[in-house]
Structures are given as structure tokens and as C-alpha cells.
Amino acid sequence: MIELSNPMVQTAVRAVRQAAALMRLIQRETVGSSLTKVDKSPVTVADFASQAIIGRVLSQAFPDIPLVAEEISSALRDPAGENTLAQVTQYACKVIPEATHESVCDWIDLGGAEAGKRFWVLDPIDGTKGFLRGDQYVVALALVEVGLPQIGVLGCPNLRDASTPDMEGSGSVVLAVRGQGAWSTSMAEGDDQWKQLKVSSRSDPSQARLLRSFEAGHTNVSQIDGLADWLGVQVDPVRMDSQAKYAVLAAGGGEVMIRLLSPDRLDYREKIWDQAAGAIILEEAGGRVSDLSGEPLDFSQGRTLKNNRGVLATNGLLHEKVLQGLMAVSA
């Protein structure tokens, strides 16, 4: 059974629950204002509000543990971001009534720390484009120690029982602690009915459900198609963006997720916040996560997985077969 009395576990779950509930409110109110980062991905009011809330909660509870997170507040501090900052602060006040423009920016910038031996890592909204479509996204938080995630929490507002899309339900909180399994409960405050997650037992490649993104910017779609053909897959894929895919894999709702390198971005390396929480959740549910060569993911190299190329996540039973297929289709 998972040890829920651990202060770090309690704080991580509380922070993600609060942020994910607010993200659902913002999504339902259809916040259309967004900025654009250098890499052209949209940054919504929700990204900033989520990071501000979680940064503040973690810094109050564990001031000596740094936070590595995706966003910075420079665009909000610029006069051109004044209206967006006002919206971010307005929403942050729903959780932290004393929030001000300045404090919100300061809480966001707590995420600018460097990765060390022990740190929190946060993606305030993983799947921003899914969020903007009114579809799947998650709030993803992990505690990393000596290059390995030790705690992982996903707030999944649009998933029921960590596996089923449900835009009107209570959502899911998915939690893993190393050596204590993966568990889920609803996002409802005070719900402590935790259910243990286990990966699918499917071992026949032809029955492998591939979890595939709507967003194809960081992958190689044609190579994934070739892999599916090589495996002889006869079942439909599960289409879903964000680390919600990790939750679904952990709950047995699919068997294979893969992040290949886009042909025009062969030097791309995954950001640690895109994988840390989901990776430990899947592993603790009995699955396996590696890079495309079968090597473990190394979270000790700063803000990127610079020692790893791509990501393969499976129920474990199919991992070696998929690695063989990758070698075959990339030869």
C-alpha cells in the first residue's frame, strides 16, 4: 500500500490537485488569450497559473528543494503581457487569495532553478494544444533524486479512472512512489479512495494498442506506421496527447507509446518535465520505459534527457519486441 502520510507525497498531491482543478475551470471558461514561445508552442494563461500555484505550494513546504519547470515570467513582466498577467493573477487568486501580479511572477520564476541531486520537476500543462482543443492534458510533477524520479503525480482533469476520456467527470489524480506501486483516485478534494494500477497483460504484438498523439511535431509519423506494420498490429490506436498516455498505459488501457525523432529535428532531446512523472507511474504499474536503444532514461543531465534518444514506453511484455521492430524499420 502506498504511504500517503509522507509529507512530500501529501504536498505533491495537494499541489497538483489544486492546479489541475483550476486548469479545468480555465479550460471550461475557454481562455483564448495566449502568448507564443520561441519554439512556437502556445502558452496559455493556464500554464502560468498552474506553475505559479505549484511553485508557491512547494516553496512554502520545502524551501530547500529547487524546482525545475517549463515556464518563465519574462513575457508576463513585459508591458505587452499586461493583460495576460492580469488574467493569470485573477485565476491564481481563486486558489491563493493574496496573489498579486508581482508574487505570481515570482512564483513562476521559482521554476528556473538548476537540476541537482534532488529537485522537483514540473510541466504545468503537458499537452497545451490538447488543452486548447478542449481535450486531454495533464499537470505533471515529479521529485527526482540522483537521476531517478522517486515520486510522480499526474493531474488528469479529463480522464476517468486514469484511463477513460471523460470531459464532464471528476478527473483523476495518478500517483506513484518508488517501490510502492502506482495508484489513482478522483480529483475531488478529500477523495482518498486510491485504486492500484496495473499494466495490460497483452503480449501478442498484433493486439498491441499504440497510444498515438494528435500532435506530431516531435515524432516520425511514417516510421510509427512502419513499426505498426512490422508488428502486425490489427487493433486501432488510442489517440491522445500529453502524459495522459502514461496514465492510460499504467491503467491497462494500451500497450505501447513511442516518441521517435522527427526527420527535421534529429538532434531533439526530450525535456525532463515531459517524461519524469509519467515514467515512474508506468514503471510502478509494472511497465517499462527506455530510450529508443533500450537504455534507461537519465534525469541527471539538466533540463533535457541529453543522453537519451527518443522514448519507448510499454507494458513491459512487448518492450523487447518493439525494440526489435524499431531496429528493423530504421535500418
Which residues are part of the catalytic machinery?
A: 47, 128
Return the H-helix or E-strand segment holding 218.
none
Instruction: For the chain, give percent helix, strand, coil, nearest 5.
Output: 35, 20, 45
The Cα–Cα gap between 319 and 315 comes to 7
Q: What is the DSSP track for 95-136? A: T-TT--HHHHHHHHHTTBPPP-SEEEEEEEEE-HHHHHHTS-
Q: Could you tell me if 166 and 76 are in contact, meaning their C-beta atoms sit under 8 angstroms apart?
A: no
Q: Work out whether the CA dihedral 75, 77, 80, 82 comes out positive or negative.
A: positive
- Let me know how many helices (H) and strands (E) the chain has, helices first: 10, 16
Q: Is 232 helix (H, G, I), strand (E, B) or coil?
A: coil
3-class secondary structure for 193-217?
Answer: CCEECCCCCCCCHHHCCEEECCCCC
The Cα–Cα gap between 93 and 237 comes to 40
